[in-house]
A and B are shown apart, each in its own frame.
Chain A
Amino acid sequence: MKVKPKKKFSIGITAVLLIIFMILSIGIGSVQLSPMETIRTIFGSGEPLSETIVWDLRIPRVLIAAIVGINLAISGALLQAVMRNPLADPGLTGVSSGAAVTVLFILLLFPEFGKWIPLAAVVGGLIAVTLVYALAWKKNGISPVRIILSGVAVNAVFGGITGLLSILYSDRLPSALQWMNGSLSAKGMGDVSILFPYSIVGWIAVLFCIRSANILSLGENVAVNLGENTNRIRIILSLVAVYLAAISVSIVGLLGFVGLIVPHMSRLLVGSNYRLLMPMSMVLGAVVLLVADTIGRSLFSPLDIPAGIVMAMVGGPYFLYLMRAGDI
């Protein structure tokens, strides 16, 4: 398929923006650094104090924001392909809250198994997505409205379990509180070294999903006619989507709307062909979450507003805008 150079260009521009925002974000905080100072510090010729701040606090946080942004955006884009529904995202379909329950379960009850948290998150996400599918399934397939309704129900149940766990184990809760709100604060290189390798695996898997996502976008009957095993494709794409969302939840907690907003904005910029939509969603996802987190930690400084709260306050109205624009 011929790819219009203008569309490729917009992906390039967004990637450049991402690098600029990363440098700016590293410079912003209680100790302000100019972009030049930031770059000097990164390359090892800055002041020792700023070097500590940059490497121990700011860079891990910026990297986590970028990686989680990428993961959630991919997850949303894939779920939208699988469910043929622009509303599908890991938050609304219950994947994130499913992952959150199992993570909280381990954090509060079995803290000694901390290293299994990403795996537990994936299991929780899979339980949630299976439930949503099962509830949304009717004789002639999955209807968009039923997906959302099942998502609401599954979210409510998992939200209830989360609430119950927090009351039963309220003494141990403070350690989990920041995590639950989708906060990127107090993240170190240790978190990056967990999240990054897991994510890379998912990103490689995404390369193999692009063609299938495109074929699914033609509709069930057409995909079958073209010789695709649609059930198998759906399961594989869902697995990758759940995996990427769940490992992100396991590090930063509940962070909604990225998977909903980013693929939609990307579609406006590069169209619906996943060969462009996927890379665009990835860079834009990183930009959006990075900006949200930077705003959250600098707007009411020294208060640190979790990025999840910023996303919810921007995402809710955007969701309504989508409805008004008739895209849903």
Chain B
Amino acid sequence: MTFKMLKAQSLDISYDQKKILDNFEINVEKGEIVSIIGPNGSGKSTALKAMSRLIPVQKEKVFLDGRDLQSLGTKSISQMMSVLFQSNEPPSDITVEELVKYGRIPHKKWYERTSDEDLSIVEWAIEKTGLTPLKDRLVASLSGGEAQRAWIAMSLAQRPKILMLDEPTTYLDIAHQLQLLELVHTVNRELGMTVVMVLHDLNQASIYSDKICVISKGIVVKYGTPEEVMTQEMIRNVYGVECEIDSHFQHGKPRINLLGISKVSAQ
């Protein structure tokens, strides 16, 4: 029997009696890229945090490769899943290579030293992210896009089955945004690494995702392929924005052209 790579069911998260996630459900198949989109405060980052044990969840709510997240130790989870948040603050004097080496920690006992195998994985991760010429530079001295790639390299060195990214393109200019999403796409297609990410840009979500999950006020509004999800009606209801949708001339994915704020306010 094959399990879903990641599954959440009837997941509720509340802060101060305010429901952030209400009966959240998602099924992520192995090898998919799934984007979670939604307006500010819709609960998308909370969903990502809950599914990656950064927020505690109850039993039988989240399953990673068929196993209950609650019953897995944090170390076992780190061998299967890597989660990366925006705006990390590394120590000011850490180099790219040193940072990427930390990605091997989940696979080591506390007394074990870095092995040749670790080093070759680290080198591979650095090369994959195009950072070989920068490997001895300080992470703090890199541009936003380069630094974000360094963190992704650390996640790759972790050799996870699933990569969770929280708004990986925030703070990057458009060239670096696309570069990063291309990198995520390559990693997914070449290594079969499942990817779940929170994105803001609807067109980027449409182009780079196999499935899209739309959240509004903590509730999953729609879940499916970009073609199924991206409709004028959904965007009007969820964001309160009018748009036109056509097909991209190259790859046929839905292309969203924003027109303006809806006269009728969002639900």
Chain A interface residues toward B at CB < 8 A: 1, 139, 208, 211, 215, 217-219, 221-222, 224-229, 271-273
Contact pattern, B 142-173, Cβ under 8 Å of A = 1, otherwise 0? 00000000000001001000000000000000
Inter-chain contacts of A227 with B (CB < 8 A): 73-79, 105-106
30 chain-A/chain-B pairs, Cβ below 8 angstroms:
A1-B98, A208-B110, A211-B110, A215-B105, A217-B90, A217-B91, A218-B90, A218-B91, A218-B99, A219-B88, A219-B90, A221-B54, A221-B85, A222-B88, A224-B74, A225-B52, A225-B78, A225-B84, A225-B155, A226-B105, A226-B106, A227-B73, A227-B105, A227-B106, A228-B105, A271-B93, A272-B92, A272-B94, A273-B91, A273-B93
Closest 3 CB pairs of A and B: A227-B78, A227-B75, A227-B106
B81 CB, min distance to chain A CBs, angstroms = 8
Inter-chain contacts of B53 with A (CB < 8 A): 224
Supply 13 further A-B pairs (C-beta < 8 A) apart from A211-B110, A219-B88: A217-B91, A218-B88, A219-B90, A221-B54, A222-B102, A224-B53, A226-B78, A227-B76, A227-B78, A227-B105, A227-B106, A228-B75, A271-B93
Within 8 A of A (CB), among B205-264: none
Inter-chain contacts of B98 with A (CB < 8 A): 1, 273
Task: Select from chain A the residue with minimum beta-carbon distance to B136.
Answer: A2
Task: Select from chain A the residue with minimum beta-carbon distance to B110.
Answer: A211
Inter-chain contacts of A224 with B (CB < 8 A): 53-54, 74
Say yes or no for B89: interface residue by CB 8 A criterion.
yes
Within 8 A of A (CB), among B51-105: 52-54, 73-79, 82-85, 88-94, 98-99, 101-103, 105
Inter-chain contacts of B75 with A (CB < 8 A): 227-228
Inter-chain contacts of B114 with A (CB < 8 A): 1
Interface of A: prevailing SS: loop
Q: How far is the CA of A213 from the CA of B91 in the complex (A)?
A: 12
A155 CB, min distance to chain B CBs, angstroms = 28
Q: How far is the CA of A221 from the CA of B75 in the complex (A)?
A: 14
Instruction: Verify A272–B91 contact, CB threshold 8 A.
Output: yes
Chain B interface residues toward A at CB < 8 A: 15, 52-54, 73-79, 82-85, 88-94, 98-99, 101-103, 105-106, 110, 114, 155, 158
Pick the contact of A272: B88, B93, B155 (CB < 8 A): B93
Q: How far is the CA of A225 from the CA of B82 in the complex (A)?
A: 6
Inter-chain contacts of A218 with B (CB < 8 A): 88, 90-91, 99, 102
Q: How far is the CA of A271 from the CA of B53 in the complex (A)?
A: 32
Interface centre among A208, A221, A225 (most CB of B within 10 A): A225
Q: How far is the CA of A211 from the CA of B113 in the complex (A)?
A: 11
A231 CB, min distance to chain B CBs, angstroms = 10
Task: Select from chain A the residue with minimum beta-carbon distance to B166.
Answer: A221
Inter-chain contacts of A273 with B (CB < 8 A): 91, 93-94, 98
Q: How far is the CA of A208 from the CA of B111 in the complex (A)?
A: 9
Q: How far is the CA of A272 from the CA of B15 in the complex (A)?
A: 36
Task: Select from chain B the residue with minimum beta-carbon distance to A270.
Answer: B93
Inter-chain contacts of B110 with A (CB < 8 A): 208, 211
Inter-chain contacts of A222 with B (CB < 8 A): 88, 102
Task: Select from chain B the residue with minimum beta-carbon distance to A212.
Answer: B110
Task: Select from chain B the residue with minimum beta-carbon distance to A139.
Answer: B15
Instruction: Verify B91–A225 contact, CB threshold 8 A.
Output: no
Q: How far is the CA of A208 from the CA of B54 in the complex (A)?
A: 25
Task: Select from chain B the residue with minimum beta-carbon distance to A229.
Answer: B74
Inter-chain contacts of A215 with B (CB < 8 A): 102, 105
B86 CB, min distance to chain A CBs, angstroms = 10
Q: How far is the CA of A211 from the CA of B83 in the complex (A)?
A: 21
Task: Select from chain B the residue with minimum beta-carbon distance to A274.
Answer: B91
Inter-chain contacts of B103 with A (CB < 8 A): 226
Task: Select from chain B the residue with minimum beta-carbon distance to A267.
Answer: B93
